[in-house]
Structure 1
Amino acid sequence: MQALVERAERAERERHLLAERARAEERARLAGEMHDVVTHRVSLMVLQAGALRVTAPDEATRQAAEELRSAGCQALEELRDLVGILRTAPEGDRTPSVAGFAGLVAESVAVGIPTELIEEGDPAMASPVVGRTAYRVLREALTNVRKHAPGARVNVGVEYDTAQLRLTVRDTPPTGGPRGALAGTGSGLGIARLRQRIELVHGTLRAGPCSDGGFSVEATLPVFVPTSESAV
């Protein structure tokens, strides 16, 4: 009887620890997603403020643009410190899917980064979780171009077929050095987190410099991953 009581108490403690661990992991996942989204948006604001500082016709506007740019950089730095080391985000979220690719490209063009999107095949073939994963890859890749490759041109290629979704993001060599204010605002784990996400859906990710001095990110994902969303 004593052995049964001890076993029950041990099982209860283990359930409690597992529940605590699950809650901690969920908080980390939500924090990671917040970091990705906010960094993407604020980095756009920083670049727009920097452009306004250069083109503004009067000193007052230039000063206001500089203050906005500095505040944005500070916000990115504080966000990185707050979030810390992040894990993968939950898949049951509202991250845009492949239909959001054009919006990401338009944002890059709006801040002065020539970006071209070429899609081949039927986007409807991508299941929801695959589409969101691909969206995150593209968002991270374009954010890194803004941070580390000023003056580069970007080509985004997406191929849909019956088995795979292949996303390729290549930028030309930058014409200037990394933007100091933006380059240090990330967690340094963007590519690592993307690789984790992609491995969860049994895909592959390759990222590295090109022979011409540019950079390439290539993700290959199965076009369909069954989830509760795809169940009828």
Structure 2
Amino acid sequence: MASSPALFRQAVQRYAPWLLGVVVAAGVWATATGDMGPRSPLPGVVAVLLAVASGWAAAQVRDRRWPLFLAAAAGWLVLAAAPAGVLASYQAGLRLRGRRLAGYLGGAAVVLAAGVLIGLHMGGMRRLTTASPANALVTAAYLVGFPLLVGLWVRARRDALTAHRDRAERLEREQEARAERIRAEERTRIAREMHDVVAHRVSLMVVHAGALEVTAADPATVEAAALIRSTGRRALTDLREVLGVLRQASPGRTPEPALDALDELIRESRAAGLQVRRRDEGAARPLPATVGRTANRVVREALTNVRKHAGDADATVLLRHLPDGLEVVVRNGPSTGGPALPGAGLGLLGLRERLELLGGRLEAAPVDDGFQVRALIPVADWP
């Protein structure tokens, strides 16, 4: 069921043109009777016909403009009625461009000049209101100039809003495309590293199965070992094919630095002017290469963000060795000022995707006037 605002908008869109037509027709009739201008000496049926025609033309202006322009010219020349002319000038400024707008201005000038000649011929109140120099200039201003400028201003605002909306939608699409590209790159990198780990385990299975096939005396055991060995070899073949596809999709990629390159990364950050301290907690133990590379990426991205947004703040890198994982915390204090570099936040998005694929999690949030990036990388299920 439609909401009240939606129903109101539908009602306005449906009935507003006809309401506008009624207002224009009433204005033309009021001019002919002398309530809004010089009283017309013509028969009343002429005024009725022009009022009805002007109202109908105003109601049809969304679809057709030329009836309104004709009704405006006829209403001014016959009755000196301005309502249709004001609406026509507004619509010209709103919807006409280039030669069509110039053509309207030329036609309006001809109609105004003809109105002056008719006023001079008819004399009386018509001459006073439309043919005297001062009133002719005022008539040109309120009949053509001012409504035309209002229409041009409204059109310029609409064009600007449309341009801003299109630009915002385009930027949003580009942002989504960049985010999707980063997710795909992370999945590709993780899949490549998973290949290394799984291939190592399957290779061990094949070796042990081959040894069991040679040394076992039970025929059933020998048959099972042979099956395991052949299946493992087929799995290794499939893994090599997958790796080949991944390398073709990402040619020329060099291995990422692991955890042993963390000190070098911190030294580079210090050389760049960042004040960084490192702390280690817990008993360190050998970590899988994938875990080390992920930890290095977390620290590198976090320090990059510190340099961008708080280059004068102190930063601490904490590695906490847990029984079932590695916790990496990079925290910086408050910044004392200075310009911040722009960032799109896609680096943290890629890290979060990478950690979720590994079964970990990433948290990034302000804390104590600073900022903290915390990553938990599980290692219990890794060799």
TM-score normalised per structure 2:
0.35
Matched, 1:213 2:369: yes
Q: Which residue of 2 aligns with 1:109?
A: 270
Q: Which residue of 1 aligns with 2:110?
A: none
Q: Tell me the alpha carbon deviations over residues 144-167 of structure 1, each in whole angstroms, 9 at most, x when there is no partner.
A: 000000210001100113311001
What is the distance in 1 between the residues matched to 2:365 and 2:309? 13
What is the distance in 2 between the residues matched to 1:152 and 1:224? 35
Matched, 1:200 2:357: yes
Report deviation, 1:187: 4.2
Report deviation, 1:225: 4.7
What is the distance in 2 between the residues matched to 1:176 and 1:150? 9
Q: Which residue of 2 aligns with 1:173?
A: 334
Q: Which residue of 2 aligns with 1:66?
A: none
SS in 1 for 2:316: strand
What is the distance in 2 between the residues matched to 1:172 and 1:116? 12
Report deviation, 1:109: 0.9
SS in 1 for 2:262: helix
Matched, 1:97 2:258: yes
Unaligned stretches of 5+ residues in structure 2? 1-173, 194-253
Q: Tell me the alpha carbon deviations over residues 97-155 of structure 1, each in whole angstroms, 9 at most, x when there is no partner.
A: 11111111111111111100112345443211111111111100000000000210001
What is the distance in 2 between the residues matched to 1:161 and 1:219? 12
Q: Tell me the alpha carbon deviations over residues 23-79 of structure 1, each in whole angstroms, 9 at most, x when there is no partner.
A: xxxxxxxxxxxxxxxxxxxxxxxxxxxxxxxxxxxxxxxxxxxxxxxxxxxxxxxxx
CA contact (8 A) 1:125 1:223 kept: no
1:224 and 1:107, CA in 2 relative to 1: closer, same or farther beyond 3 A?
farther
Counterpart residue identity of residue 149, structure 1: A
What is the distance in 1 between the residues matched to 2:286 and 2:365? 28
Q: Report the structure number with the largest CA radius of gyration.
A: 2
CA RMSD of aligned residues (A): 2.3
1:203 and 1:106, CA in 2 relative to 1: closer, same or farther beyond 3 A?
same
SS in 2 for 1:125: coil
TM-score normalised per structure 1:
0.56
Higher mean C-alpha displacement, 154-163 vs 85-94: 85-94
SS in 2 for 1:175: coil
Q: Which residue of 1 aligns with 2:240?
A: none
1:151 and 1:214, CA in 2 relative to 1: closer, same or farther beyond 3 A?
same
What is the distance in 2 between the residues matched to 1:136 and 1:117? 15
Where does 1:59-138 land on structure 2 (aligned, <5 Å)? 84-85=178-179, 86-87=182-183, 88-89=185-186, 90-91=189-190, 92=193, 94-138=255-299
Q: Higher strand proportion, which one?
A: 1
Counterpart residue identity of residue 146, structure 1: R
* Structure with more contact order per residue of length (Cα contacts < 8 Å, sep ≥ 6): 1
Q: Higher helix proportion, which one?
A: 2
* Matched length: 142
Instruction: State the identity %.
Output: 40
Q: Which residue of 2 aligns with 1:38?
A: none
